[in-house]
Amino acid sequence: MSAQAKVPLFRLLPEELEPVMAEFGQPRYRADQVLRAAWHDSPASFEDIRQLPAGLRARLADRFSLDAAIEVRRAVSDDGGTTKLLLRMNDGTLIETVLMQYPEPGDRHPRSTVCVSTQAGCAMGCVFCATGQMGFERNLKAEEIVTQVLHIARLLRERGEHVTNVVFMGMGEPLANYAETIRAVRLLTHPKAFGLGQRHITISTVGLIHAIDRLAGEGLQIGLAISLHAPNDTLRQRLVPTAGPTSVGDLVSAAKRYFKKTGRRVTFEYALIAGQNDSEETARELARLLQGSGTHVNLIPVNPTAGGYGRPPRRTVLAFERVLRGAGINCTVRVEKGSEISAACGQLRTDESNRFVNDSGISLSPVAPRHGSRQETLSPTPSQTR
C-alpha cells in the first residue's frame, strides 16, 4: 500500500478502529492498547509500541500512518506563560498553535490551555484579524487539529504537566469546517482517545447561525463563544464584512437557543478597537442588546494589526467594562499574555514567523500580511471566562 493511501490513525474514533482489530484477528483489548499508546505515549512509529505483537505492529504500519506535526518555530514569553508554535503539516501548510498557562494555587499543575487552528487562513475577512487578512488557504483535517494538541501534550508531559483545556480560537473559522471540527472534538473528548472532559473545550465562532444550531444538537457539553464585536448591524458589518444578513439580534437568539439546548452559557467575544466600537455609548447599546440574555461578555483589547486597528487606552477599556457591569451584564476583560512574542490565537503567522518562513524558503500562499507592531498582545484566554 502506498504511503498516500494510509489512513491517519489520529483520525479514527475508537469505534472505527475496533472492527479493524477484528479483521486482523486480534482480541478486542488490542484496540484499547493501540489507542492508549498512540494518544498518550507519543510513539514515533508503530514499531515503538512494543507491547503489541510484532505481526500486528507491521499490519498497523501497513494500513495506518502516525504522522505528527513538525515544529518549525517556538517562541516563549518572558514569564513562560505563553508558548507559540509554528507547526508544519504533512503537505507543508503552516499553522500556529498556542499554549497558555495559568498558575493554580498551591502545588497544583498549572491550567494549560491549547489554542488550536481549524483552517489555514480564513475566508471571513474580519478587518482587525491577521488571519482574516490572509484569506483562505484550506480546511484542516481532524487529525491535523488533534495533532496540535498532541504536540503540546508531549511538550508538557516532558515537564510532568498535561493539557487541561482546548479552545478552538486559533487560525480559521471552526464552524466553516464543521465536520472535521466536530470529529476533532470527539477525538479529543473520547475516553479511549485523548480523553479530555467536554466541558474543558470551547469553540469560538464568528457566528454561523445554522452551524451553531447544529452544534447545539450534537449532544456535546462544550462551551461556545460567539465573536460579536458590535452592538448593531452597521458597525458589525464594517468589522465583519462577511456577516451578510446575520444580524446581532440573530446572534443573541442563537446564543439563547444554545443555552436552552445544552445548559451551557454562551460567551460573546468583543474585540475592543480604538475609535471603532469602544465608546461608552456603544457599551450602553451593547448592554441593551444583551439585557436578559444570560450571556457573558469577554472584552478583548485588540492586538494591533497591519490594518491600522489599534487598542484603546486602558481607561477606555475599564470604562466600557464599567458600563456593562453597571447594567448587570456579566463581563470580563481578557488578560493579556505573551506580548513580547506576538502570541495570538486568531492572529497567526506573525511578522516574526513570516520572516522565518520566508527565509527558510517555505512558500506561503497567499502571503500573510505583516503586523505593524512587534509589541502585540493578544490574550486568548477563554478560560478566563469560565
Residues that bind ligand SF4 (CB under 6 A): 122, 124-126, 129, 131-132, 172-173, 206, 227, 346
The entry of ligand SAH, ligand SF4, none that residue 347 binds, CB within 5 to 8 Å by partner kind: ligand SAH
| Residue 135 dihedral angles phi and psi, to the nearest 5° | 85, 180
Q: Which is nearer to ligand SF4, 9 or 206 (CB)?
A: 206
Q: Which of 96, 144, 269, 376 is catalytic?
A: 96
Length of the chain: 386
Q: Which is nearer to ligand SF4, 164 or 298 (CB)?
A: 298
Q: Which is nearer to ligand SF4, 12 or 171 (CB)?
A: 171
- β-partners of residue 350 are none
Q: Which is nearer to ligand SF4, 124 or 222 (CB)?
A: 124
CB of 329 to ligand SF4, least distance (A): 22
Half-sphere exposure of 211 (CA within 13 A, CB side): 20
Rounded Cα gap, residues 48 and 300, in angstroms: 44
Query: HEC states along 304-339?
Result: CCCCCCCCCCHHHHHHHHHHHHHCCCEEEECCCECH
CB of 307 to ligand SF4, least distance (A): 11
The entry of ligand SF4, ligand SAH, none that residue 378 binds, CB within 5 to 8 Å by partner kind: ligand SAH
Q: Which residue's beta carbon is nearest to the bound ligand SAH?
A: 346
Q: Which of 143, 285, 345, 376 is catalytic?
A: 345
The entry of ligand SAH, ligand SF4, none that residue 300 binds, CB within 5 to 8 Å by partner kind: ligand SAH
The entry of ligand SAH, ligand SF4, none that residue 10 binds, CB within 5 to 8 Å by partner kind: none
CB of 182 to ligand SF4, least distance (A): 18
CB of 303 to ligand SAH, least distance (A): 4
Rounded Cα gap, residues 111 and 164, in angstroms: 6
Q: Which residue's beta carbon is nearest to the bound ligand SF4?
A: 132
CB of 29 to ligand SF4, least distance (A): 42
The entry of ligand SAH, ligand SF4, none that residue 112 binds, CB within 5 to 8 Å by partner kind: none
Rounded Cα gap, residues 232 and 286, in angstroms: 8
CB of 263 to ligand SF4, least distance (A): 26
3-state secondary structure of 268: strand
The answer to whether 104 is a known catalytic residue is no
Closest among 319, 238, 314, 247 to 276, alpha carbons compared:
238
Distances (CA, A) of 40 to 15, 93, 145, 150, 152: 18, 25, 16, 8, 12
The answer to whether 96 is a known catalytic residue is yes
Rounded Cα gap, residues 139 and 149, in angstroms: 17
Q: Could you tell me the three cell numbers for 160?
A: 510532568
Q: Which is nearer to ligand SAH, 38 or 129 (CB)?
A: 129
Q: Is 65 exposed, middle or buried (0-12, 13-18, 19+ CB in 10 A)?
A: buried
Rounded Cα gap, residues 217 and 112, in angstroms: 28
Task: List residues near ligand SAH by CB under 6 A.
Answer: 126, 128-129, 169, 173, 204-206, 227, 269, 271, 300, 302-303, 305, 345-347, 378
Q: Which is nearer to ligand SF4, 156 or 243 (CB)?
A: 243
Rounded Cα gap, residues 347 and 96, in angstroms: 9
Q: Which is nearer to ligand SAH, 38 or 206 (CB)?
A: 206
CB of 86 to ligand SF4, least distance (A): 17
Rounded Cα gap, residues 236 and 244, in angstroms: 10
The entry of ligand SAH, ligand SF4, none that residue 37 binds, CB within 5 to 8 Å by partner kind: none
- The catalytic site residues sit at 96, 345
